[in-house]
Amino acid sequence: MNSRRSFIKNIAFALPAISLAEILLSTSCSKSVDHSHIKRIGIIGAGISGLQAAYLLKQYNKFEIEILEASDVIGGRIQSFTNSNFSSNNNIELGAQVAYGQQNNAWYDIIRKYQPVNLDSKKEKAYVIDETIKAESALSGDADFMKVNSIFNSSLNYASNDVSIEQFMVNNNVPERVKFIYRNNMEANVGGSIDRVSLLMAKEEGLKNSQESHYRLTTTNFSDILTKEYSSVLTKVKTNTVVREIEYVGDVVRVKDQNGVTRTYDKLIVTVPISILKDGDIKFTPALPSAKKEAMDMIGMDAGIRIILKVKNKFWPDDTTVLYSGGDAGVFNIEKDSNGAYILSSLVVGKTAEKMNNRSATNIANDIQADFTALFGAAAGQSIVDSKVVFWSDMPYIKGTYSYQKVGGSMNNRVELSKAINNKIFFAGEATNANGKSGSIHGAMETANRVTTEVLASL
Ligand SMILES: Cc1cc2nc3c(=O)[nH]c(=O)nc-3n(C[C@H](O)[C@H](O)[C@H](O)COP(=O)(O)OP(=O)(O)OC[C@H]3O[C@@H](n4cnc5c(N)ncnc54)[C@H](O)[C@@H]3O)c2cc1C
């Protein structure tokens, strides 16, 4: 019940003037609906937006729904790693790992149903500065450290000509020895290289997450919750079905997969990552409108690598939950599992990830071990007992982390991207969120809610 309430609340948020029930009733009873013909609705992608759209449409009991998923699993950019030898907590996330804030966050409402979550807002940070680990509390006398934090905060209020986040850093003379703090803070939120991301748009989008509380699970994980919450539509998912062509000439939409099998739908919802559309991995006939292509050019999606370390003994100050490593591995979130091991997790994005992409997982882990040994002594290096490295840009149906706007971008790009074509092809997925919630789970859910109302209204 709770989830239904939160979903309705969420759609109502997107469409304040009209209730969802009114829209759905008016469209479903509309004289244009041919009740003798059950409408076939295809959904491409079984990430959160595809599953949510199927879940909503299924409530009407009047559609044949099929979700075509290229990979062999559901979840898309929500993927948990459950290996009890690695961690007894069962809560390691390879993709999305936190819910940002509680307000208007349908994902928060869902995870809260399955497990009371930890409020992760009390972060005890430590920084590797000048080759020494220092707790944040010990840095209040460090002028450079105070300056970088103040510049980060001032960027949240930036209102002048659009510049890249990096340009803002340069313009404000962030001191060299603390530049990594600024870069890490920014990239952790925007998911792209700071020299590519628009500061004005980041302020409206990803950077808002830096001001929210971050909610994590403790004894279960996002994939598990996804499977439970969307159990009613999992039978609709056809995995290992890579959509290669979409033809929308005439009354129906024809979708061809990698084996040449063609499926026909009355309506099609496309939820694939923007990287897939930008790379032309799906051929549209007719081609996508030029306005959509131009909008896509202004939206980026960079490489990303999730690095997870299992560490036996801590070598950081007591109670630290966030460690700014100063090296390529960036910022580690630290958690203790029920067996007493520490699980360190970082996400490297953009140019740093591109640089690391041609190295093997083992090499990356070995380099971090060597860094820790050099900085903190042999005991620190030896305390790393296991590692897992995931290259998100190597995933052929994801190809990166999440979308951001380039310098000069505007919310119109996302509006344009989200526009339906010929009342037959509809676009959802995080990159189409024009409410400032792109790059998030709850933002992707909002786009599913929007697209559902669009499909219903089109019948
Ligand atoms: C490393 C990482 C960390 C993140 N951290 C957070 C976080 O902490 N909190 C948060 O809220 N968000 C986070 N995000 C963002 C969040 O995960 C995404 O915004 C959200 O999951 C996207 O959902 P989606 O449905 O739009 O797309 P996806 O989950 O990408 O789903 C799209 C699906 O389409 C499939 N597909 C692609 N091509 C084809 C094709 N040709 N045919 C058929 N299927 C195809 C894909 O396999 C995929 O399953 C993170 C993302 C990443 C990668």
Q: In angstroms, what is the span from residue 289 Cα to ligand 1's centroid?
A: 24
Q: Within this chain, do residues 182 and 247 fall inside the same structural domain, yes or no? A: no
**DSSP secondary structure letter of residue 97:** -
Task: List, for residues 429-444, the tens digit of each pLDDT value.
Answer: 999 999 999 999 999 9
pLDDT for the residue 122: 63
Name which of 19-33, 122-136, 360-374, 388-402 the model is least confident about.
19-33
pLDDT for the residue 297: 98
pLDDT of residue 57 exceeding 70: yes
- How far, in Å, CA of 297 to CA of 176, rounded? 32
Range of the domain at 189: 144-211
Atom of ligand 1 nearest to the CA of 107: 11
pLDDT for the residue 127: 96
pLDDT for the residue 4: 34
Q: In angstroms, what is the span from residue 358 Cα to ligand 1's centroid?
A: 23
Q: Average pLDDT in the 37-48 region?
A: 94
Q: Average pLDDT in the 179-193 region?
A: 94
Q: Average pLDDT in the 221-232 region?
A: 97
Q: In angstroms, what is the span from residue 49 Cα to ligand 1's centroid?
A: 8
Atom of ligand 1 nearest to the CA of 392: 53
Name which of 17-21, 79-83, 395-399 the model is least confident about.
17-21
For 233, other C-beta atoms within 10 Å of its C-beta total 22
Residue nearest to atom 48 of ligand 1 (CA): 76
Q: Within this chain, do residues 243 and 203 fall inside the same structural domain, yes or no? A: no
pLDDT for the residue 225: 96
Q: In angstroms, what is the span from residue 69 Cα to ligand 1's centroid?
A: 12
pLDDT for the residue 334: 94
pLDDT of residue 278 exceeding 80: yes
pLDDT of residue 121 exceeding 90: no
Q: Within this chain, do residues 421 and 445 fall inside the same structural domain, yes or no? A: yes
Average pLDDT, the chain: 90
Atom of ligand 1 nearest to the CA of 271: 32
> Cα 181 vs. chain centroid, distance in angstroms?
22
**Is 46 domain-assigned?**
yes
pLDDT for the residue 219: 82
- How far, in Å, CA of 455 to CA of 458, rounded? 5
pLDDT of residue 25 exceeding 60: no
Q: Average pLDDT in the 183-191 region?
A: 93
Q: Report residue 237's pLDDT band, with 50, 70 and 90 as the boundaries.
A: very high
**Is 235 domain-assigned?**
yes
Helix 411-418 / helix 441-458 crossing angle, nearest 10 deg: 50
Q: In angstroms, what is the span from residue 355 Cα to ligand 1's centroid?
A: 22
One-character DSSP codes across 224-276: HHHHHHTGGGGGGEE-S--EEEEE--SSSEEEEETTS-EEEESEEEE---HHH
Q: In angstroms, what is the span from residue 96 Cα to ligand 1's centroid?
A: 8
CB 164 within 8 A of CB 196: yes
Q: Within this chain, do residues 148 and 23 fall inside the same structural domain, yes or no? A: no
The fraction of the chain above a pLDDT of 70, given in percent, is 91
Of 169, 187, 211, the position where a domain reaches its end is 211
Q: In angstroms, what is the span from residue 119 Cα to ligand 1's centroid?
A: 24
**Is 326 domain-assigned?**
no
Q: Within this chain, do residues 53 and 170 fall inside the same structural domain, yes or no? A: no
pLDDT of residue 1 exceeding 50: no
Residue nearest to atom 38 of ligand 1 (CA): 397
Q: Report residue 49's pLDDT band, with 50, 70 and 90 as the boundaries.
A: very high
pLDDT for the residue 28: 41
**Is 346 domain-assigned?**
no
Look at the chain and report how many structural domains it folds into: 2
47 contacts: CB under 8 Å, gap ≥ 6: 74, 75, 76, 77, 78, 271, 429, 444
Give, for ligand 1, the residue of 56, 66, 77, 216 to mutate: max count of ligand atoms closer than 8 Å to Cβ: 77
pLDDT for the residue 3: 37
pLDDT for the residue 36: 53
Residues with a CB atom less than 6 Å from ligand 1: 44-50, 68-71, 76-78, 95-98, 100, 242-243, 271-273, 276, 281-282, 304, 306, 347, 392, 397-398, 401-402, 429-430, 439-441, 444
**Is 364 domain-assigned?**
no
Q: Average pLDDT in the 337-360 region?
A: 94
pLDDT for the residue 6: 36
Task: List, for residues 440-456, the tens digit of each pLDDT value.
Answer: 999 999 999 999 999 99
Q: Within this chain, do residues 192 and 174 fall inside the same structural domain, yes or no? A: yes
**Is 244 domain-assigned?**
yes
pLDDT for the residue 218: 83
Q: Report residue 264's pLDDT band, with 50, 70 and 90 as the boundaries.
A: very high
pLDDT for the residue 119: 55
Q: Report residue 265's pLDDT band, with 50, 70 and 90 as the boundaries.
A: very high
Q: Which residue has the tokens 């302020």?
A: 203
- Tell me the CATH number at 190: 1.10.3110
Structure-token pair, residue 402: 């999440």
Name which of 36-45, 147-156, 292-301 the model is least confident about.
36-45
Q: In angstroms, what is the span from residue 230 Cα to ligand 1's centroid?
A: 16
Q: Report residue 123's pLDDT band, with 50, 70 and 90 as the boundaries.
A: confident
Of 184, 211, 238, the position where a domain reaches its end is 211
Q: Average pLDDT in the 224-231 region?
A: 97
Q: Within this chain, do residues 51 and 176 fall inside the same structural domain, yes or no? A: no
Q: Within this chain, do residues 192 and 227 fall inside the same structural domain, yes or no? A: no
Q: Within this chain, do residues 197 and 53 fall inside the same structural domain, yes or no? A: no
- How far, in Å, CA of 401 to CA of 306, rounded? 10
Atom of ligand 1 nearest to the CA of 49: 25
Q: Report the amino acid identity of residue 428.
A: A
**Is 307 domain-assigned?**
no
Give, for ligand 1, the residue of 210, 269, 272 to mutate: max count of ligand atoms closer than 8 Å to Cβ: 272
Q: Within this chain, do residues 21 and 70 fall inside the same structural domain, yes or no? A: yes
CA 143 → CA 138, 172, 177, distances in Å?
A: 12, 14, 11
Q: Report residue 213's pLDDT band, with 50, 70 and 90 as the boundaries.
A: confident
Q: Average pLDDT in the 350-374 region?
A: 94
Q: Within this chain, do residues 228 and 292 fall inside the same structural domain, yes or no? A: yes
Q: In angstroms, what is the span from residue 48 Cα to ligand 1's centroid?
A: 7
Of 156, 183, 211, the position where a domain reaches its end is 211
**Is 281 domain-assigned?**
yes
Residue nearest to atom 4 of ligand 1 (CA): 96
pLDDT of residue 12 exceeding 80: no
Q: Within this chain, do residues 202 and 233 fall inside the same structural domain, yes or no? A: no
- Tell me the CATH number at 410: 3.50.50.60
The β-bridge relationship of strands 39-44 and 267-270 is: parallel
pLDDT for the residue 30: 41
